[in-house]
Structure 1
């Protein structure tokens, strides 16, 4: 299990030139199993990688009651001998308040990402590593199609601000079920998501739809993922014509 996931992570890093010599990588640590597995494997990769790089784990507390932030910080320090930089914000509370007329998840995510960009610049990190996986990339494609009327998704590596910062997703080739299994093998802690919108999102709806499709044919997930890199532009609608 661990060897297979490490191979997939290594392949994604190689395919997309995610990590270069002497880079500092900011790792967004939400406390979920995806980000914890990513952090664990990056620290393991750091010890044997052909390039030298630094890791800066960062957690943004969204301001909800029942926060696990202190426990998360202690776990990272005890396990990896690295400090977790913690930012206490009210992004989640604001996103769920009457002042917000947008989707709460959209606003909270946007504010957290904006702050990660700022921290990366402050700390001299050119890369921000996030724990998105293969399932997340497929789900985002369908969310955009169904709710935004456009075809697009998250890329394993995306540049922002004319290449000043990159978001990298080393687990882009790893399935969520593999991450869940490895989290159990590694005995990673389970932190309760205190967001009131947890499991009530458009992503949850799309995930249920896709799970129904996958149940009918084991090849569908792989076909969808490959299709995103095999686009027949001549057979898509061109509104300009």
Structure 2
């Protein structure tokens, strides 16, 4: 059986999309704009990014069976770069997907002061997508309940989730798609480790607590830098995310800044951490619910996989070591 994690080239979600992008690249290269190398370079970068986004989203959909025949997918739209990218890429894949599914874009207008309520409806109409705007004044509820100076995100998130589930029922949606990307998932993992004392991230697909809704995160393989760049290329009408007031002290902001600085200093670390979330060695953790440590006994029978108690530790590359540190390999 072919492992879907390795079946990228055979993924029916992305094959035709890649061919279409290649055709567009060839057409642009041969067009009248060929005399403008700067513009051609940008167009080529944009086409490469589109192919990459379609490939990563298509792979996530296949790996986790996110979208099935006859699904009605509710794409939750906040007006930020990630939700715009999610809607845009899903609509591109919808045209060539191996299954038929519908999309409806949904925005919850929480009546925050200054929220430009015209922006999203106008955008939805301009691209011809089915949409629904749900008007619920959760802002007043949060301001009334949460003490001044305290973070409002927790209560706001719970209210928003409950309302969106209700809207999904009303619209007959079978999947609820959220715009969380790879970096969000790693940040959540670190937040739970630092402040919650548990290893818990964001799953790519889950069933809600009431058992009625399936939530999917098709951008789970996509780094934030790609959604940022795609939003710039597409010139999406971004709605600022600071409408609730300044919350610079949020733990998520601090962790996000830390990870970005770390990735600058050690490129690839965020990707490595993300891969680790799908490559867990339960015998080397400390959760008794995942491994029966209490009853572990010597059996005299060798493990076919070798000695699992003492893994061979690979030495770090010289570039990753502090200055002046020397490595001596002992045989």
State the TM-score, normalizing by the size of structure 2: 0.68
Distance 1:90 1:148 in 2: 30
> Is the Cα contact below 8 Å between 1:157 and 1:167 reproduced in 2?
yes
The structure whose residues are more often strand, as a share, is: 1
After the TM superposition, which residues 49-60 of structure 1 pair with which residues of structure 2 at under 5 Å, given as runs? 49-60=97-108
- Of the structure 1 ranges 161-170 and 200-209, higher mean CA displacement relative to structure 2 is found in 161-170
Distance verdict in 2 for CA 1:198–1:25, change over 3 Å? farther
Deviation, 1:92, is 2.9
Query: Does residue 242 of structure 2 align to residue 196 of structure 1?
Result: no
Q: Higher RCO, 1 or 2 (CA under 8 Å, sep at least 6)?
A: 1
Query: Does residue 134 of structure 2 align to residue 87 of structure 1?
Result: yes
After the TM superposition, which residues 11-160 of structure 1 pair with which residues of structure 2 at under 5 Å, given as runs? 11-79=59-127, 81-97=128-144, 99-100=145-146, 103-160=151-208
Query: Does residue 289 of structure 2 align to residue 210 of structure 1?
Result: no
Aligned residues: 239
> Is the Cα contact below 8 Å between 2:119 and 2:237 reproduced in 1?
no
> Is the Cα contact below 8 Å between 1:73 and 1:83 reproduced in 2?
no
Structure 1 residue runs without a partner (length 5+): none
Deviation, 1:189, is 1.3
Distance verdict in 2 for CA 1:84–1:199, change over 3 Å? farther
Distance verdict in 2 for CA 1:161–1:238, change over 3 Å? closer
State the TM-score, normalizing by the size of structure 1: 0.93
1:168 aligned residue (196, 210, 216): 216
Please list the CA deviations of residues 47-83 of structure 1 after superposition, one character each: whole Å capped at 9, or x if unmatched.
Answer: 111111111111011221111222211111112x124
Distance verdict in 2 for CA 1:50–1:105, change over 3 Å? same
CA RMSD across the alignment = 1.8
Higher Rg: 2
> Is the Cα contact below 8 Å between 1:126 and 1:165 reproduced in 2?
yes
1:221 aligned residue (253, 270, 273): 270
Regions of 4+ moved over 6 Å: none
Deviation, 1:19, is 0.4
Please list the CA deviations of residues 154-204 of structure 1 after superposition, one character each: whole Å capped at 9, or x if unmatched.
Answer: 111111247531110111000000111011111211222312145442211
Q: SS state of the match for residue 93, structure 1?
A: helix
Distance verdict in 2 for CA 1:2–1:121, change over 3 Å? same
> Is the Cα contact below 8 Å between 1:105 and 1:197 reproduced in 2?
no
Distance verdict in 2 for CA 1:131–1:88, change over 3 Å? same
Please list the CA deviations of residues 100-147 of structure 1 after superposition, one character each: whole Å capped at 9, or x if unmatched.
Answer: 267410110111111111111122212100100000000000111112
Distance verdict in 2 for CA 1:198–1:34, change over 3 Å? farther
